[in-house]
């Protein structure tokens, strides 16, 4: 029997804390400019009814969840798509690529080709490239927008 009393007491404290956490209802007269309210043309009885209905609606609606300070942010819905493209220059010559080719960029990153093979007609020295994000964390290296992209992954 004592357990039920303790549980009931804890439940009542929780309900009181939840009710106190919700912001109190603010009357419509305090929310709206008096001149704008006069333009609507509601009688005092209608204002009183409107305030009662809004107060009851506020009491019925649950309080929005509040994230605790320091709580982790949820993971993105589509990993990789939230990341922007990386623009840099490759250090050295680029003749083409095949699986296993490593590109070192001027920003210090290194990307290794996972899929795709290409032999360039002319060798390029320190070409500007774009590493573009794809779905599910995939990345694609683009030397020229008219050429096929190589699927890559970052190694450094």
> Which pLDDT tens digit goes with each residue over 78-134?
555 557 889 999 999 999 999 999 999 999 999 999 998 999 999 999 999 999 988
- Give SS3 for 89: strand
C-beta of residue 116 within 8 angstroms of C-beta of residue 97:
yes
Return d(Cα 114, Cα 131) in angstroms, integer. Answer: 13
DSSP bridge pairs for 131: 86, 141
Q: What is the pTM of this model?
A: 0.49
Name the nearest CA neighbour of 77 among 136, 147, 25, 31: 136
Residue with tokens 């603010």: 26
């Amino acid at each position: 029997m004592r357990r039920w009393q303790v549980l009931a007491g804890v439940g009542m404290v929780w309900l009181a804390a939840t009710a106190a956490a919700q912001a109190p209802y603010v009357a419509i007269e305090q929310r709206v400019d008096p001149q704008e309210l006069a333009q609507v043309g509601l009688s005092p009885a209608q204002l009183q009814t409107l305030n009662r209905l809004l107060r009851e609606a506020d009491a019925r609606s649950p309080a929005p969840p509040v994230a605790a300070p320091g709580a982790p942010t949820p993971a993105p819905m589509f990993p990789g798509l939230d990341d922007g493209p990386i623009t840099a220059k490759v250090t050295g010559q680029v003749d083409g690529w095949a699986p296993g080719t490593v590109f070192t960029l001027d920003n210090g990153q290194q990307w290794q080709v996972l899929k795709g093979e290409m032999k360039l007609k002319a060798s390029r020295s320190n070409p500007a490239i774009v590493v573009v994000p794809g779905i599910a964390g995939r990345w694609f290296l683009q030397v020229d927008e008219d050429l096929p992209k190589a699927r890559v992954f970052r190694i450094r």
